Amino acid sequence: MLKVEKLDVYYGNIRALHEVSFEVNEGEIVTLIGANGAGKTTVLHTISGLVPARSGSVRFLDYDLIRLAPHKIVQLGLAQVPEGRRIFANLTVKENLEMGAYTRKDAKGIKDDYEQVFTRFPRLKERLNQMAGTLSGGEQQMLAIGRTLMSRPKLVLMDEPSMGLAPLLVSEIFDIIKEINAAGTTILLVEQNAQMALSIANRAYVLETGRVVLQGDAKTLADSEEVRKAYLGG
């Protein structure tokens, strides 16, 4: 579904990604793990069209995403849940969800998707007319995920969905990610909580200073001594 090949990205003269290659198959949860500054968010932003690549290719289904505008990428069925949630704090919950559907014109489909979001996140329905900035951190994360689902994506990029959340909420968010995947949406997950990410993923890639240094089955990597020492606290 997604094939990234030899992706090079620079910020000015600083090389952020070094020939990064990986793929995501339909129906999978694939996770990118690594320390802060490893390049995980840069990978997602390049796929989403927010950061330009110096060289390499990003193919989604039969489309070449390099140099495609971000809103065009969303229209193809690829959407991102950004790091830090990035909800529109001065808009209501309902208006935030409407923003998620801004590329769509199918009124009935949008209405159906509202109902699906409310079924998955009943708390959002209770707070429909509340300003999004007044929600708790967990509720804001649910809103960020719900807003992304309103674009009806085939592939969702999730950037640090557990960031800043209490352990109980982290568990709830990861259950939701599994549910979304089980309902037919493919997921590329960037997550600093490597243990949780590897527990729900099919496959994983380890990034270090902009390079893929390890890849494989998520359970195998979780059991690897090298990964345990570096990312799972021994």
pLDDT greater than 70 at residue 86: yes
Segment 45-58 mean pLDDT = 96
176-187: per-residue pLDDT in tens? 999 999 999 999
pLDDT greater than 70 at residue 234: no
Calpha distance 33→43 (Å, rounded)? 12
71-82: per-residue pLDDT in tens? 999 999 999 998
Specify whether the CB–CB gap between 181 and 66 falls below 8 A.
Answer: no
Q: Amino acid identity of 45?
A: H
Cα distances from 125 to residues 29, 93, 119, 130, 143, in angstroms, run 27, 8, 9, 10, 10
pLDDT at site 233: 62
Calpha distance 16→9 (Å, rounded)? 5
Q: Whole-model pTM?
A: 0.92
Domain assignments of the chain as residue spans, ordered by start: 2-231
- Determine what percent of the chain falls in helix, strand and coil, rounding each to the nearest 5: 40, 25, 35
Percent of the residues in the chain that have a pLDDT greater than 70, as a whole number: 99
What contacts 233, CB < 8 A, 6 or more positions away? none
Calpha distance 20→210 (Å, rounded)? 7
pLDDT at site 164: 84
Architecture of domain 2-231: 3-Layer(aba) Sandwich (3.40)
Calpha distance 39→16 (Å, rounded)? 6
166-175: per-residue pLDDT in tens? 888 889 889 9
pLDDT at site 85: 83
What contacts 139, CB < 8 A, 6 or more positions away? 123, 124, 127
pLDDT at site 211: 95
∠ Cα 19 22 26 (to 5°) = 155
117-137: per-residue pLDDT in tens? 999 899 999 999 999 999 998
